[in-house]
A and B are shown apart, each in its own frame.
Chain A
Amino acid sequence: MKQNAIVEMKDLSFKYEKEWVVKDVNLSIYEGQFLGLVGPNGSGKSTLIKLMLGLSKPDVGSVQLYGESIKKFDKWEEIGFVSQKANSFNSGFPATVIEVVKSGLVSRMGTFSFFNRKHKERAMEALRTVEMEEYADTNIGELSGGQQQRVFIARALVSDPSLVILDEPTVGVDAKHVTDFYNLLGKLNKEKGITLLMVTHDIGTITDHATHVVCMNKTIHFHGHSDDYKEFSEEDLNQLYGHAVQQLSHNHDHSGVSHS
């Protein structure tokens, strides 16, 4: 069976000032995958996400979403995004949880349409999925970091997307809730068939949950099943990194690459 690539990145390169942050990335994401994107700090993971979503424009290469060039793409309701920024939003913003979640429906609504009871019900349903429905009328700033993160996931889910992208969603969430969080993601992937792409530097946990792992440091060093990834010992991994890096580029040091 031939699977459909819902995201296709070809020869993608992006430089910030004069330094390449993302270099020659080719990556496709297929329906039903739970893809973990890992790599050390400053390895261009978040930048790659921004390029994928059209928030930054690549210097070289192209991005296709659902078979459509990113420039023409307009089916934004298919994509849910939980950004890293969700951890550092303006917490004094006067909005309730339900108002925030409803704003996730904007991509599904026409220009001159208004929120109605149906939208509210959908937002409540999304809140139930993340077990936050009792906080619907609470001010978003009054919640804990982990609770806020759940609300942002509900906002990403409310438009009924087929692809959800999460950028370091577990930063600032305490360890106890991280497990719940991964269970929730597993449920979304397996039961609802939502394709997931999650950026993280927590390599240990992601390989237990994701179906596929992509390891990047400016370029992609590993892309395959997470089981294959787990078979490597830490030493092998370091070697793989070092070896691959040496083949592709000689001009920077990767001794700081860590796998915890």
Chain B
Amino acid sequence: MIESLMQYQFLQNAVITGLLIGLVAPLLGVFIVVRRLSLIADALSHITLTGIAASLLLEKRVSAINDWNPIYMGMVFSVAGAILIERLRKVYKHYEELAIPIILSGGIGLGVILISLADGFNTDLFSYLFGSVTAVDRSSVWTVLFITLGVIAIVILFYKELFVLSFDEEHASISGVSGRWIHLLFIVMVALVIASSMQVVGILLVSALMTLPVAAALRLSRSFKQTIGLSIVFGETSVITGLYSAYHLSVPPGGTIVMTAVLILIMTIMYKRMQKQFLVKGEAS
């Protein structure tokens, strides 16, 4: 793969994008998981699909936008979906999680209609659903790079506010932290990262890259910073192993990346269990 990597630009694109999202998806994922918002990533990835479908349809019907990268329309829909979820959470104050299935099914419903109008499912769409080693072009690499740098900068700048909001919203409020703005900023970042990740991991599996490495890290870490660090390590390991095996097995990388993440998760659970048994035995003897 190394040799091909030097040779083919498409592979370089996939690897660079993969490494970027392997970092930034788990980074945001930590905050998503501890705030119990794991399903938001799913809702947003499905509405991203709607954006992709809309873009593919427009491309077909309007000749002027022949060369549009569907990732941008995906981002627009994802961000709009994020803002809508926030609105809906206020409408259903006592059933905040209702916003998620509303956006998720609404997104898929509209997506199916748009896809059919755009002459149905084709290979393009398949690669958006499950990821692809070949579909990433140079302009997407730049877009993902900018988004990654932006997200890292914002997380560093607002680290203490994000931490306080995640740990204890009431305490954030009496610390003078404006929860509403930070939350909006956060969910827009999530929307952008999801849209960025879809070319490599695929829409249906993006949320896994945000949650599985974090789930594994939670088993092993004591501190919040350690959780972030380990999540990124597990995210990158999943992306690198996943891309490598996807290339050699000729399967969509979404599957191999997510299965690597699942494997890491199983290993951490088993490790923790063994450690516990060992401790019990140690105490008994």
Contact = CB atoms under 8 A, between A and B. Distances in A.
Say if A and B assemble together: yes
B222 A107 contact: no
Interface string B127-142: 0000000000000000
Interface residues of B, number: 28
Given A79-B174, A99-B223, A106-B160, A92 B218 contact: yes
A100 B167 contact: yes
Contacts of A93: 34, 166-167
Nearest to A81: B174
Contacts of A114: 159-160
B176 A74 contact: yes
Given A93-B167, A112-B157, A106 B221 contact: no
Interface residues of A, number: 31
Contacts of A111: 161
Contacts of A55: 170, 173-174
Contact of A83 (B160, B166, B171, B177): B171
Given A99-B163, A106-B161, A94 B174 contact: no
A95 to B, nearest CB: 5
B177 to A, nearest CB: 6
Contact of B168 (A53, A85, A109, A139): A85
B175 interface: yes
A155 to B, nearest CB: 8
A103 B173 contact: no
A137 interface: yes
Interface string A94-132: 111001100110110101101100000000000000000
Contacts of B227: 94
B226 to A, nearest CB: 7
Q: Is the interface of A mostly helix, strand, loop or mixed?
A: loop
A159 to B, nearest CB: 8
A106 B177 contact: yes
Interface in B167-189: 167-168, 170-177
Given A100-B167, A103-B163, A95 B174 contact: no
Interface in A36-92: 53-55, 74, 76, 79, 81, 83, 85, 89-90, 92
A138 interface: yes
20 contacts: A55-B170, A55-B173, A76-B176, A85-B168, A89-B168, A90-B167, A93-B167, A94-B34, A94-B217, A94-B227, A95-B163, A99-B224, A100-B167, A103-B164, A103-B171, A106-B161, A106-B172, A107-B176, A114-B160, A139-B223
Interface of B: 34, 36, 157, 159-161, 163-164, 166-168, 170-177, 217-218, 221-227
Interface of A: 53-55, 74, 76, 79, 81, 83, 85, 89-90, 92-96, 99-100, 103-104, 106-107, 109, 111-112, 114-115, 137-139, 155
The 5 closest A-B pairs by CB, nearest first: A107-B175, A94-B227, A96-B223, A76-B176, A139-B222
